[in-house]
Structures are given as C-alpha cells and as structure tokens.
Amino acid sequence: MSHDSTKKTIQVALGVCAVCSVLVATATVSLEAIQNQNKKLDKIENILAAGGLADENKNPVDIYEEKIKPIIIELKSGRTLSENELDPVLNPDKFDVKKLKGDPKYSESIPTDKDLANVKTRPKFMAVYQVIDKDKNVSAYILPIYGKGLWSTLFGFISLDKDLKSVKGITFYEHGETPGLGGEVDNVKWKESWNDKTAFDDNNQLILSVIKSKVDKTDPLANSKIDGLSGATLTTRGVNNLIQYWLGENGYGPFFNKIRKGA
C-alpha cells in the first residue's frame, strides 16, 4: 500500500470517528434532556395526584401552571424565602429533595431523639406547593415527605386543606418496599382512604396516624386513623413515623404556625 493510500485510510478512519463522536454526544445530550423532561413530568403528576388535581383529559403541565404556586420555606423558622434569596438549587420549579438532603451546604443533621422518620439528615429548606383557586387564594398545601420503610426510603407528597385540618391526598413516587406488602403504599384504594381524614384537632394538635390494623369505624377517632398495610408492619410503622415527623413540630410545624397566625 502506498504512503498516500495509508494516509487517506487514516484520514477516513479519523473522520468516521469524529462523526461518530458527534453523533454519540448529540444522542447523549438528547437522551438526558428527554430523561429530565420525563422526570419533571412525573414529579408534576405526583404533585397533582396528592392535591386531587389530576385530570386525564387535561395536560398535567397546564394544570400545574394554572393551579400551583410553589414557594421555598426555611424549615427551622417556617418563613418563606424571598425571590432574592433563591438560587439555582433553591429553585421552586427544580427543587430536588434527594439532592438537597445530601448536600452539606443545604442540609442539616437531625438529632437522634427527634428523627422519627429515621432519615438522619434533611434539607434546611423545602418546596411547598400552594394550590390556588379561581379567586387566586390558597386552597391547599402540597408538602414533600420522606422517611424509612422496611427496605427503602419512601418519597412522596401529602396535601392538607387551607386550614391545615384535613388531608386532601397522599402519594408516594419512589420506594423499594416489597410488592404486595409494603408496596401497597401504591394501592389506589389505600391512598384514597386518606382523603378527608382529620390531621389536626381544634387545638392544632396532630392526631393523624397510621395504625397496625383496620380502623374500627365505631372509634371516636376513626376519622383521624388510617388502616395499616396488611403483612407490612414495618412499612406501616415507617409511614406513620414519617407523618408524625413531617407534620409535627420538628418538620413543617413552624411553617404551619405562621399560616395559622396569618404571618
């Protein structure tokens, strides 16, 4: 083979490699964009599901933009951050609980005696998704929640009415619990059983709980209790614990107090 032929062969090979590299890079970027878009849509759908706002006849993004106003709050004080305090991480539309709870800058350790959800760390800040009615008033609050089950950390949302008295809905969008047992947190009927349950009494004390067995309908507090998951005692306990933590004084408590005071 002549020197020129060898040179041309090498040039062609390099050209093919360059083209392939560009195609692979383009495909990777495109795939990542699609994955991010799907992740965002899944989050929106779960927020809407928790708030009882899902409508299969409407675009979830359109519903979200029309009815949801997200804010960022500081958990410790309960105050809402101003726009000047937001940054690319503390962005209501891109808020990622999992990312923040593992970031030393934005997270904090939870004292063992207060860590009911058994998660060890939490974000210093949380996104809260306000449901806005046709008169532009807040009609409900959709809150991120997470905590340990049997095999995994469960991540979800719970929605409370504007007076913080009753539950409007709950959903878990990520977990690794046993299918048919703890995995029944995905059961539609079980999730629907949370709707309209009483979360706080007239003295603003948290009374909502998930019990080990079936709720006795003759129990005076039946409307504040949720059936346990059959055959999944530890997952049931985990869900109850995360509810006690996040709706309690060490979770969203300071934020709830500000709402009740009209602050």
Residue-wise pLDDT for 94-108, tens only, equals 899 999 999 999 999
Q: Which position has the token pair 């849509």?
A: 41
Position 20 pLDDT exceeds 70: no
**Residue 209: alpha-carbon gap to chain centroid:** 19
Position 1 pLDDT exceeds 60: no
pLDDT band at residue 229, thresholds of 50, 70 and 90?
Answer: very high
User: CA–CA distance from 99 to each of 119, 122, 251 (Å)?
Assistant: 14, 10, 18
Q: Which one, of 52, 79, 48, lies nearest residue 64 by Cα?
A: 48
Q: What pLDDT was estimated at residue 261? A: 92
Position 263 pLDDT exceeds 90: no
d(CA 34, CA 178): 29
Q: Which one, of 85, 129, 75, lies nearest residue 256 by Cα?
A: 75
Position 68 pLDDT exceeds 60: yes
Q: What pLDDT was estimated at residue 40? A: 86
Q: What pLDDT was estimated at residue 147? A: 98
Q: What pLDDT was estimated at residue 28? A: 63
Q: Which one, of 162, 125, 156, 124, lies nearest residue 143 by Cα?
A: 156
Position 114 pLDDT exceeds 80: yes
* Share of residues in the chain with pLDDT > 90 (%): 82
d(CA 106, CA 26): 33
The answer to whether the beta carbons of residues 73 and 255 sit under 8 Å apart is yes
Instruction: Assign 87 to helix, strand or coil.
Output: coil
Question: Residues 118-145: what's their mean pLDDT?
Answer: 97
Position 50 pLDDT exceeds 70: yes
Q: What pLDDT was estimated at residue 37? A: 78
Q: What pLDDT was estimated at residue 77? A: 98
Position 30 pLDDT exceeds 80: no
Side chain identity at residue 179, one-letter code: P
Average pLDDT, the chain: 92
Q: Which one, of 257, 263, 262, lies nearest residue 75 by Cα?
A: 257
Q: Which one, of 129, 78, 18, 119, lies nearest residue 253 by Cα?
A: 78
Domain boundaries, the chain: 48-260
Q: What pLDDT was estimated at residue 3? A: 58
Q: Which two tokens stand for residue 87?
A: 């940054």
pLDDT band at residue 76, thresholds of 50, 70 and 90?
Answer: very high
Q: What pLDDT was estimated at residue 67? A: 97
pLDDT band at residue 38, thresholds of 50, 70 and 90?
Answer: confident
